[in-house]
Amino acid sequence: MTPLLELDKADVRRARALARKVGKPVVDIANKHTTVSVERATLRLAGLAGADHERVPWVNHLVDAVRESAGLEHGVTLPVWDALRRGLAPDLLTLAQMASSRSVEFRIPEGKDATAAAKQSRAAVARGIRTMDKQRVARERLVKRHGDPKQRPWIYLIVATGDIYEDIPQAQAAAREGADVIAVIRSTGQSLLDYVPEGATREGYAGTYATQENFRLMRAALDETSKEVGRYIRLTNYASGLCMPEIAALAGMERLDMMLNDSMYGILFRDINPIRTFVDQRFSRQVHARAGIIINTGEDNYLTTSDAVEAAHTVTVSQLLNEYFAKEAGLEDWQLGLGHAFEINPDLHDSFRMELAHALLARTLFPDAPLKWMPPTKHMTGDVFKGNLLDGFFNLVGALTGQGILLVGMMTEAVVTPWISDRDIALQNVRYVLNAAGGLTEDFHPPRNGFIQTRARQVLGEAIDLLQQITDEPGKAPLLEAIADGTFGEMKRPATAGKGLDGVIVRAPGYDNPAITLLETGATR
């Protein structure tokens, strides 16, 4: 049994009620808009893939051409399948190729033409949805065949060479040494690309590009390793940035198991327009819900720009908002890898006790979620001995509080890119702590009014106060105002600015997106 804190149930209910109050206006805004990436993701589900000789994806060409010719206010599928029905091209790929030279004139069909176009587009998109459904079944079958790790938390380890063909052997080696989840870090800056690169890539910087082919290659390699080690090895990548919906769709079709997918990370740390982010985020989470993918949220990032003690309550607020947005989009508790981190200055008196309180607070608020616990990074100095000790304390908190996903800390974190030998030492640290102290959750019960319980209640109280403060903001969407004011991570991001704003479109009456319809209804055809 995980040791739970004794929190006031009324406070917990109030926190969730306030999160709903803050989040709902944002969902209402998302339901009134679409984005170029949502429309491109829909075409990808319909089977459109590939790129031109300059590696510009065909989905970009087609969506851009439709927007110029007929607009996207009604969605991309009505004008596209209307064009196919009128015989302007024999298939979707040819139409996209013709559209790239602007040799096709699109229109918004009406009446029977609109009905027929909607029916045909739904049939095409449904094939992509069924592919995701099959991949979810395949995952369940492989987990049953190979087995899950014998204990929690799952050990989560990063590879990031920039070359998919170098990532693969490193990922397989990590799995053999005990890693349960392999995260392929995305190339620096990819979140700001408004297209998804094509094919296998070997030139990423500080990470490897997220592409459909890279997903396929790594998934196939880890399937082989799963057979070898006798447990299913999970694969993680990033559904964030300007192409969040597309990457989510590709991940679902290629059977990735986890995706980093935070509701506000792109806004705060990449200056992506807030409305663009929330619209894309809702669609991507609907995809993840259908595909059986666990999301990992990014609350740990707040503590890289804010003090981990003073800003602890902003992490809790973000977790509550991420939970609301996720469940509204259809995700279940077991898919909520809500984030938090071990980032308090180690020189601070009682730092470990506060870390323990914060981790227990998250565990108590979200008892059925596989929380993702992040290691120290901000206060790593290059002293590898102290760094390894800090990571050991981090691992101990994970063992004591029953975290679900434990990202392996590196003693060279934030100093150099870790060597394989660094990873091996880090994995030894995790294995020792979990083997020696993994059962402490049965024995550890913080005193009712002791330091840990008191600190956790304080943070929850501050989180409630902040949520109430947000609801008191002026305007129809107080959360957008709070983000603009710099409430989270000390970043001010107004809803009228930011990257990707030009890719946001207000839906017109009669807007049609078969992917959204299929995802929301659970239909397969």
Write out the catalytic residue numbers: 265, 300, 372
On the question of a cis peptide bond just before residue 153, with omega within 30 degrees of 0, the verdict is yes
The answer for residues whose C-beta is within 8 angstroms of residue 403's C-beta and 6 or more apart is: 152, 153, 359, 363, 371, 372, 373, 397
φ, ψ for residue 502, nearest 5 deg:
-70, -10
- The CA distance from 400 to 170, in Å, is 30
Plot region of 302 (φ>0 → left; ψ -120 to 50 → alpha; else → beta): alpha
169 SS3 class: helix
The two three-digit tokens of residue 105, written as one number: 């004139």
- The CA distance from 160 to 140, in Å, is 27
- The CA distance from 489 to 327, in Å, is 24
Strand-pair partners of 424: none
Whether residue 74 contacts residue 513, with contact meaning beta carbons closer than 8 Å, is answered with no
Name the nearest CA neighbour of 351 among 307, 291, 318: 307
Q: Strand ranges (DSSP E) for 58-170?
A: 154-159
Name the nearest CA neighbour of 316 among 255, 365, 379: 365
Whether residue 435 contacts residue 37, with contact meaning beta carbons closer than 8 Å, is answered with no
- The CA distance from 140 to 159, in Å, is 25
Whether residue 293 contacts residue 257, with contact meaning beta carbons closer than 8 Å, is answered with yes
- The CA distance from 26 to 483, in Å, is 12
